[in-house]
Structure 1
Amino acid sequence: MILGGYGNFGKRIAESLCKLSNITLLLAGRNSSKAEQLCRALHQQGARATLQAAALDISDPFFSDRLKALSPDLLIHTGGPFQGQDYRVPEACITAGCHYIDLADDRRFVCDIKTLDQSAKDNNVLIVSGASSVPGLSSTVIDHYREQFTSLDDIDFAIAPGNQAERGEATVRAILSYTGHPFPIFQKGQWTQTYGWMSPSKRDFGPTIGKRWLADIDIPDLELFPERYSLVNNVRFQAGLELPFLHLGMVLMAWLVRIGLVKNWASMTKTIFHSSELFKRLGTDTGGMQIQLSGTDKNHQPQTVLWTLCAEKGVGPYIPTLSAIILAKKLISGELQETGAKPCLGLYTLREFDREAKGLGIYHHTEVKHG
């Protein structure tokens, strides 16, 4: 089952999984007509899976009972924003004996999913949160290059989507929820504080993407990585909008929250989302992701690894879906046997990512500098 199966990310996961034979794919959400419409479209594209539409609303007080009646083996939750959501969906999956994967990027939702660990183990299911660009892909990249360091001191990474790339209203609401609000980050070996969409800077993503404006963004990695990579001194993440006037407008909005003139921009999501769509034809459909790791190599000399991913021709929105697709296929094939509840860390390899990404034209390259 893909919950939110006709949404921005759900439909992309459906496009991939419908190519598998001998499975039934349930496209679920509040609007059954949209689910049925996507089922028809996927059939016309040559889907090999059996496709069904299902009306399902997570706010329904009988959601758990309705889920159990549908009896899926695996549920992929794409129905964001996850900011402020409780664990009713993964808890319902545990009760139904159903594996669960989500694309959450909310810090508390992803980091605290481990509170369900024992319950998930008792019911022999796997509950994975954050199977997206972060922390799913970001941790996979860091794990891949971690062996090249005797000590890893700094993790500095960023995401820069193209302005023309398709985006959903839920994503905009999630971003606005922490714009201008404080959150903790790990710097110089200790916890300090920064603010959402502040501390603007520019980063060069290479000749294809160019230089992009960035700002501080709150994600689960900022809390998960200091623990996972125990000797790291600094963990920093930024993201931004391609068009400078939109990006710097977000910085101004963050400043207005910080000085108390605005409480929370999330209440104006619809207006802000539709306003941003007016500029959709500006900019490009090219985006990327960059991870810079600094520390010492096996000869105890300074070393920097710079990994850059590029997505052209509007395929950027597929990147957040690939972690969930990889894990779903591993569960379907029986390759993934783990149980319990955990953030998406160490559950797949960079080679497995490349296998899914290459068909979309998503590519990456690595630069290693010594000294």
Structure 2
Amino acid sequence: MQKVLIIGGTGRIGQSVAKDILSHTDAHVIITGRQVGQTVADKLGSRATFQALDLANYEGLKSAVAAADLVIHTAGPFHDRNAQVLQLCIDNGVNYLDVSDHRSFTNKAVAYREDAIANNVTAIINTGVFPGISNSMVRQDVEALDQAEHIHLSYVVAGSGGAGLTVMRTTFLGLQNTFDVWRSGQWVSAEPYSKREVIHFPKPYGPVNVFWFDVPEALTLAQSFDVQTVITKFGSVPEIYNVLTWLTARLPKALLRKRSVIEFFSWGSYRCTEFSDRFTGTGVAMRSEVKGLKDGKPTTACSTLVVDDTAIAAGYGTGSIAQLILSGQFSKPGVWPVEASFPTDLCQSMLKLRGVNIEQQIFN
């Protein structure tokens, strides 16, 4: 029986990935965490076990990786993570996935591309929902055109998104620094949670305010496709969370870089969403718009997706690729973001298997 090691598997995202793999494969899943997690494993079923593991324990980590057929890294936030897990996978010839969501980690990971190719290891990064499924949506739209020029990718999350405290930390960590974005063929600096724009998402969201936000797609989409502009914007419902995040982003950066401040905002937001989730739900909507040329005419390809739970959607994104790797249907040695590696037809078939459809429109 194949073994899948999910690092950080006791968290919300890790559990969602585990559930998806257990539902769609015959693999045995090992979830890890620093604290006792056997209760979580018991809830997942007889093909799931818990293994205590601290990422700081190099020998323990090395042994766990070497015993697996596939390693999935879900232990965020990834802002300050090194690529040690990926390196161990490459050294031991073990395929690798992660749900990383910050460009600093993406840059560290892709530096191992040639090593992964040499060791015949398939390593796909940023595989959750956004990044992850969102990247596949953009790839689908780019492929619908003869020439893509402008990518606009937006997301809205209801309340906590069902994804737990770690995602709250990720949000506030993303407000600490300016970041580079690809505009008009050059890299320029953008302020987090700036340049408010109204995007019309499918029901039940409708028009929502979205803002510049630092996600790895802003980096990888510009590298994967020959386009002039890549815009990535994020918003929340209810609107009060956008207001509070915008105000937080305006605080002195030195203050936002203090761990105690990040923890204060993260816990405060998490407690608020525990209440508001009852009314807003925990879903996510994504909208990809790619402008360019088709048959010599200006054309726009637009894809949208709505899922009721953000954490479950992350499980779909990562679980889909895990299923295909375990079955031998997908292999691409190297370290790659989703849009540079995962074929559109495979993505669509895996999502449909999970009851999810990406809606696409083409118009002039």
In the alignment, which residue of structure 1 is the partner of 2:358?
364
Picking from 239, 244, 256, the partner of 1:249 is: 244
In structure 2, what residue type is equivalent to 1:271? Answer: F
Tell me: CA distance 1:121–1:210, structure 2 relative to 1, closer, same or farther (3 Å). Answer: same
Take 2:164 and 2:131, find their aligned partners in 1: how far apart are those partners? 20
In the alignment, which residue of structure 1 is the partner of 2:174?
178
Picking from 125, 130, 153, the partner of 1:157 is: 153
CA RMSD in angstroms comes to 2.2
Deviations 1:292-342 (A, max 9, x none): 1111221x2221122111123xx2222223232122111111122332222
Q: Write the mapping of 1:278-289 to structure 2, written as runs, cut at 5 A.
A: 278-282=272-276, 283-285=279-281, 286-289=283-286
* Residue 168 (structure 1) aligned with residue 164 (structure 2): yes
* Residue 302 (structure 1) aligned with residue 298 (structure 2): yes
Q: CA deviation at 1:63?
A: 3.8
In the alignment, which residue of structure 1 is the partner of 2:55?
58
* Residue 330 (structure 1) aligned with residue 330 (structure 2): no
Take 1:247 and 1:322, find their aligned partners in 2: how far apart are those partners? 27
Take 1:266 and 1:354, find their aligned partners in 2: how far apart are those partners? 40
Q: CA deviation at 1:110?
A: 1.4
Q: Could you tell me whether the CA contact under 8 Å between 2:129 and 2:310 is conserved in 1?
A: no
In the alignment, which residue of structure 1 is the partner of 2:10?
6
For residue 62 of structure 1, give the secondary structure of its aligned residue in structure 2.
helix
* Residue 28 (structure 1) aligned with residue 32 (structure 2): yes
In the alignment, which residue of structure 1 is the partner of 2:266?
273
Tell me: CA distance 1:265–1:173, structure 2 relative to 1, closer, same or farther (3 Å). Answer: farther
Take 1:119 and 1:296, find their aligned partners in 2: how far apart are those partners? 37
For residue 302 of structure 1, give the secondary structure of its aligned residue in structure 2.
strand
- Greater Cα offset, 191-200 or 268-277: 268-277
Q: Could you tell me whether the CA contact under 8 Å between 1:113 and 1:343 is conserved in 2?
A: no
* Residue 19 (structure 1) aligned with residue 23 (structure 2): yes
Task: Give the aligned length.
Answer: 356
Tell me: CA distance 1:317–1:222, structure 2 relative to 1, closer, same or farther (3 Å). Answer: same
In structure 2, what residue type is equivalent to 1:357? Answer: L
Take 2:361 and 2:334, find their aligned partners in 1: how far apart are those partners? 36
Structure 1 residue runs without a partner (length 5+)? none
Deviations 1:141-194 (A, max 9, x none): 222232332321210011101115312222121221131521111112222110
In the alignment, which residue of structure 1 is the partner of 2:312?
318
Tell me: CA distance 1:227–1:205, structure 2 relative to 1, closer, same or farther (3 Å). Answer: same
Tell me: CA distance 1:103–1:265, structure 2 relative to 1, closer, same or farther (3 Å). Answer: same
Q: Could you tell me whether the CA contact under 8 Å between 2:70 and 2:95 is conserved in 1?
A: yes
Take 2:292 and 2:92, find their aligned partners in 1: how far apart are those partners? 46
Q: CA deviation at 1:351?
A: 4.1
In structure 2, what residue type is equivalent to 1:9? Answer: I
Q: Could you tell me whether the CA contact under 8 Å between 1:82 and 1:104 is conserved in 2?
A: yes
In structure 1, what residue type is equivalent to 2:168? Answer: V
Q: Could you tell me whether the CA contact under 8 Å between 2:19 and 2:44 is conserved in 1?
A: yes
Q: CA deviation at 1:71?
A: 0.7
Q: Could you tell me whether the CA contact under 8 Å between 1:305 and 1:367 is conserved in 2?
A: yes
Q: Write the mapping of 1:69-148 to structure 2, written as runs, cut at 5 A.
A: 71-148=67-144
Provide the TM-score with structure 2 as the length reference: 0.90
Q: CA deviation at 1:3?
A: 0.9
Q: CA deviation at 1:9?
A: 0.8
Tell me: CA distance 1:22–1:363, structure 2 relative to 1, closer, same or farther (3 Å). Answer: closer
Tell me: CA distance 1:185–1:21, structure 2 relative to 1, closer, same or farther (3 Å). Answer: closer
Tell me: CA distance 1:121–1:296, structure 2 relative to 1, closer, same or farther (3 Å). Answer: closer
Q: CA deviation at 1:7?
A: 0.8
* Residue 38 (structure 1) aligned with residue 3 (structure 2): no
Q: Write the mapping of 1:197-212 to structure 2, written as runs, cut at 5 A.
A: 197-212=193-208
Take 2:273 and 2:139, find their aligned partners in 1: how far apart are those partners? 38
Q: CA deviation at 1:254?
A: 0.8
Provide the identity percentage. Answer: 20
Tell me: CA distance 1:270–1:203, structure 2 relative to 1, closer, same or farther (3 Å). Answer: same
In structure 2, what residue type is equivalent to 1:37? Answer: T
Picking from 231, 242, 245, the partner of 1:236 is: 231
Q: Could you tell me whether the CA contact under 8 Å between 1:82 and 1:105 is conserved in 2?
A: yes
Q: CA deviation at 1:369?
A: 2.0
Take 2:61 and 2:284, find their aligned partners in 1: how far apart are those partners? 38
For residue 19 of structure 1, give the secondary structure of its aligned residue in structure 2.
helix
Q: Could you tell me whether the CA contact under 8 Å between 1:164 and 1:281 is conserved in 2?
A: no
In structure 2, what residue type is equivalent to 1:39? Answer: A
